[in-house]
Each structure stands twice: as structure tokens, then as C-alpha cells.
């Protein structure tokens, strides 16, 4: 199972266009605000050059990429929490995603309405982030009201939760996001239950016009991203949407023509992996070569559990070959003969690119 990413931003910032580019789907993307009402959901393969190389060596019947799911929701505008535009209730559709991509309109096009008249990334980011924060504050305030009623009847546990929520509330009221690493494990798990958008890893997606390809970064977004300790990816949504509809070989020559080194899906997936601190391991079993996504720091037995719960329960050892060693050796047999396969126990921390063969017994 892969990861999920929600796309947010002002109306007409290009969320659905980018969603289409990422998933190859055809969600409505038109030059009028509030085109998207119901959320669009779609998935994309996680582009993986190493998996391709492994497949070319092993020649399996099946190659299984890991996937990333994208959610495209309605546009947020100022005072959405008071019901402006489509309101803010639709944000519930992205409360369970792993990461958020905030689409910021940087392309100039007079015929595509900007709800505030001009292209102004800094102002737009602040409007959207204010609404996210207010939406989270609504959840916190509602919970606080409930807890305060309960406190009259009971005790300590509620008191702890109230203290935590008051702390989070004051962070949000200062227009900051929640850095979950500053809370202890118990607080983090409690916080997780509220699915706060402002506590999720996020990044900005600068949606640029063709004339800006190769002419980024854009200072005002970069400055804001630095303040928020995150990163910016620049894509030309419209061009990427068109590229997603053409065959692979032709795509590469168009990319060259436009001076694009990577596709939006490659940039966005890479960024999502980075901010979520994810790595990939591989399995070569029978006729299948497969990629798996895990959090950096995952142990071998936990990784085995990703493949199958029986492998976790009955874990004995794992045979591990690094991707580089496998490619150098040219085959699993040769890698074994050269002594490049090492046997690891359940506490071994899986490294990016490891090829695992789990020995288990149930």
C-alpha cells in the first residue's frame, strides 16, 4: 500500500489540472472558479528507475510499482469558514492523507479568472493557510467544549488533553503550523486522532506558465517555504496535463523541447517521499519484482509485515542485498557467489534500495 497526498489551493490555481497530470485521469479543469465540487481521487505509480533496472536484469512476468494516491478537492477562499465559496467542510476529505501539496498559482492568464484579480503567490498562500488554520481551530474548540463539560464529572486524562489542545490552539492562533516532533509520543498519538491539516507534512507546488520554465525559483514562495521549513516544487500544470496523454518516448522528446528535466509526477513524488522521510525496498519473489514504501528507520521485521502479516509473525531472518551490489553482480546467483547477500535479524534497519528475501515460518 502506498501513500496519499491531498492537493489544496485557491480556485483556478490549477489543482485539477495537476491532478490530471499526475494520475492521467480527466477530472474537470475549466477556466472558472469552483469547477471542482466533489473530490477527485486517483492514483499514480511511483516512478522508479531502480525497479526498471531490476526488471531488466530479472526479466520477471510481473513488475509491481508502489503507488501514491492523490486527492483533488474544491478551492478555498478567504472566509471559507464563514461559508464563502464552497465553505470549508470539504476539507474533511483530505484529513486522512499523509501529505499536502499546496498549489499556488504563478501563471498569468487574463482569460482565466483569478478570484482576487491578480497573480500574487504570497497573498494567496496566506489566504489558504489562514483558512486551514481556522478549520483546525474549529475542531480543537469543539473538542475543548466537550472536554470542559466532561471535566466536571471526571479528571486527569481530560485535563491532560485540555492542556495539549490549549497549547496547540495558541500555536495556531499565532499563524504557525504544528511541528509534531516537538510533542512527546503520547501527545503525538492524541494529536493524530484529530487529523489536523496544519500538523501534516506539506509542500508548495508553484504552478508556473510555460514562460517561467527554467526561470524558477520564485523568491516570495521560497521565503515563505523557508519560514514554514518546507520546500517548493515548480510545475507547469497545463503542459504536464498535455504530456500525460502522450506515449512515453514522445513525452521525452517534448520534455527536451521545453527544457523539462523531470515530469511533475517525478518531482512531486520525490518531494513527498522526502518530506515524509520514506524509502523504498524491493522483493524478487517467483515471477514478480516489486517495490515497497516504508518510513526510514523501519526494522526488517516491520518491513516483512508490510509484505504479509504472516512474514512478520513467523519472521526468522532476512537475506539482504543492496541494489548496487545486485546490479554490479548482474544476477542473484552471482551476488550469492560473491558473498554480497547478508543475513539479517529482525532489528536490522532496512536501507533505501535493499532487496529483501524474508525467511519465515508459520
Ligand X SMILES: Nc1nc2c(ncn2[C@@H]2O[C@H](COP(=O)(O)OP(=O)(O)OP(=O)(O)O)[C@@H](O)[C@H]2O)c(=O)[nH]1
Contact call for residues 312 and 281 (beta carbons, < 8 A): no
CB of 218 to Mg ion, least distance (A): 22
- Interacting span for ligand X (CB under 6 A) from 27-35, 144-152, 217-225, 261-269: 27-35
Q: Binding ligand X by CB under 6 A: which of 17, 66, 283, 298? A: 17
Can you read off the three cell numbers belonging to residue 294? 516504508
- Assess 35 for contact with ligand X (CB under 6 A): yes
CB of 262 to ligand X, least distance (A): 16
Strand order in the sheet with 3-9: 40-45, 67-72, 3-9, 99-105, 202-207, 232-235
Contact call for residues 106 and 10 (beta carbons, < 8 A): no
- Assess 34 for contact with ligand X (CB under 6 A): yes
Cell 496566506 maps to which residue? 126
Cell 498562500 maps to which residue? 125
- Assess 11 for contact with ligand X (CB under 6 A): yes
Handedness of CA 137, 141, 144, 146 (dihedral sign): negative
Site string for ligand X, 210-249 (x = CB under 6 A): --------------------------xxx-----------
Cβ neighbourhood burial of 157 (10 Å; 0-12, 13-18, 19+): exposed
For Mg ion, which is the closer residue by CB, 80 or 341?
Answer: 80
> Which of 177, 226, 235, 227 has the alpha carbon at shortest distance from 205?
235
Which residues sit opposite 50 in a β-bridge?
Answer: none
Helix (H) or strand (E) holding 348: none
C-beta atoms surrounding 201 within 10 Å: 17
CB of 153 to ligand X, least distance (A): 45
* E strand spans, 232-287: 232-235, 278-285
Which residues sit opposite 102 in a β-bridge?
Answer: 8, 204
CB of 81 to ligand X, least distance (A): 17
Angle between helices 121-151 and 156-173 (to 10 degrees): 160
Q: Binding Mg ion by CB under 5 A: which of 12, 13, 16, 20? A: 16
From the list ligand X, Mg ion, none, partner contacted by residue 12 (C-beta under 5 to 8 A by kind): ligand X
**Three-class SS of residue 295?**
strand
CB of 21 to ligand X, least distance (A): 9
Site string for Mg ion, 20-59 (x = CB under 5 A): ---------------xx-----------------------
Q: How far is CA 164 from CA 145, 146, 168, 180, in A?
A: 14, 14, 6, 12
- Assess 82 for contact with ligand X (CB under 6 A): no
From the list ligand X, Mg ion, none, partner contacted by residue 112 (C-beta under 5 to 8 A by kind): ligand X
> Which of 206, 9, 196 has the alpha carbon at shortest distance from 116?
9
DSSP state, residue 14? S
For ligand X, which is the closer residue by CB, 35 or 57?
Answer: 35
Site string for ligand X, 42-81 (x = CB under 6 A): --------------------------------xx------
- Assess 151 for contact with ligand X (CB under 6 A): no
CB of 2 to Mg ion, least distance (A): 23
Taking the C-alpha atoms of residue 175 and residue 198, their distance in angstroms, rounded to an integer, is 10
End-to-end CA distance of the chain: 23
- Assess 85 for contact with ligand X (CB under 6 A): no
- Assess 200 for contact with ligand X (CB under 6 A): no
Site string for Mg ion, 100-119 (x = CB under 5 A): --------------------
Q: Binding ligand X by CB under 6 A: which of 25, 112, 119, 162? A: 112
- Assess 88 for contact with ligand X (CB under 6 A): no
CB of 162 to Mg ion, least distance (A): 38
- Judged by the rule CB under 6 A, the positions of this chain that interact with ligand X are 9, 11-17, 29-31, 33-36, 74-75, 107, 109, 112, 207, 209, 236-238
- Judged by the rule CB under 5 A, the positions of this chain that interact with Mg ion are 15-16, 35-36
Amino acid at each position: 500500500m502506498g501513500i496519499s497526498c491531498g492537493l489544496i489551493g485557491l480556485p483556478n490555481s490549477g489543482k485539477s489540472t495537476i491532478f490530471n497530470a499526475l494520475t492521467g485521469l480527466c477530472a474537470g479543469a475549466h477556466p472558472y472558479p469552483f469547477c471542482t465540487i466533489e473530490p477527485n481521487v486517483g492514483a499514480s505509480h511511483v516512478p522508479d528507475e531502480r525497479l526498471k533496472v531490476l526488471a531488466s536484469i530479472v526479466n520477471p512476468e510481473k513488475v509491481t510499482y508502489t503507488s501514491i494516491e492523490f486527492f483533488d478537492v474544491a478551492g478555498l477562499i478567504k472566509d471559507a469558514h464563514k461559508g464563502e465559496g464552497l465553505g470549508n467542510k470539504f476539507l474533511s476529505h483530505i484529513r486522512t492523507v499523509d501529505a499536502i501539496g499546496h498549489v499556488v498559482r504563478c501563471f498569468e492568464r487574463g482569460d482565466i479568472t483569478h478570484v482576487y484579480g491578480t497573480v500574487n503567490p504570497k497573498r494567496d498562500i496566506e489566504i489558504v493557510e489562514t483558512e486551514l488554520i481556522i478549520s483546525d481551530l474549529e475542531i480543537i474548540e469543539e473538542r475543548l467544549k466537550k472536554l470542559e463539560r466532561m471535566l466536571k464529572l471526571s479528571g486527569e486524562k481530560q485535563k491532560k488533553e485540555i492542556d495539549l489542545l490549549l497549547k496547540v490552539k495558541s500555536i495556531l492562533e499565532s499563524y504557525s503550523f504544528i511541528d509534531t516532533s516537538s510533542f512527546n509520543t503520547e501527545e503525538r498519538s492524541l494529536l493524530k486522532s484529530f487529523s489536523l491539516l496544519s500538523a501534516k507534512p506539506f509542500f508548495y507546488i508553484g504552478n508556473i506558465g510555460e514562460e517561467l520554465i527554467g526561470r524558477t525559483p520564485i523568491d516570495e514562495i521560497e521565503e515563505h517555504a523557508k519560514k514554514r521549513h518546507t520546500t517548493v516544487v515548480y510545475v507547469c500544470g497545463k503542459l504536464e496535463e498535455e504530456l500525460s496523454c502522450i506515449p512515453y518516448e514522445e513525452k521525452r522528446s517534448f520534455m527536451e523541447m521545453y527544457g523539462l528535466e523531470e515530469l511533475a509526477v517525478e518531482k512531486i513524488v520525490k518531494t513527498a517521499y522526502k518530506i515524509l522521510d520514506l524509502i523504498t525496498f524491493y522483493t524478487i519473489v517467483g515471477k514478480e519484482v516489486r517495490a515497497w514504501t516504508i518510513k526510514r528507520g523501519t526494522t526488517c521485521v516491520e518491513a516483512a509485515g508490510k509484505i504479509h502479516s504472516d512474514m512478520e509473525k513467523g519472521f526468522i531472518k532476512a537475506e539482504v542485498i543492496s541494489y548496487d551490489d545486485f546490479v554490479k553482480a548482474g544476477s542473484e546467483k552471482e551476488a550469492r557467489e560473491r558473498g554480497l547477500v547478508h543475513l539479517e535479524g529482525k532489528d536490522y534497519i532496512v536501507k533505501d534500495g535493499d532487496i529483501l528475501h524474508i525467511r519465515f515460518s508459520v
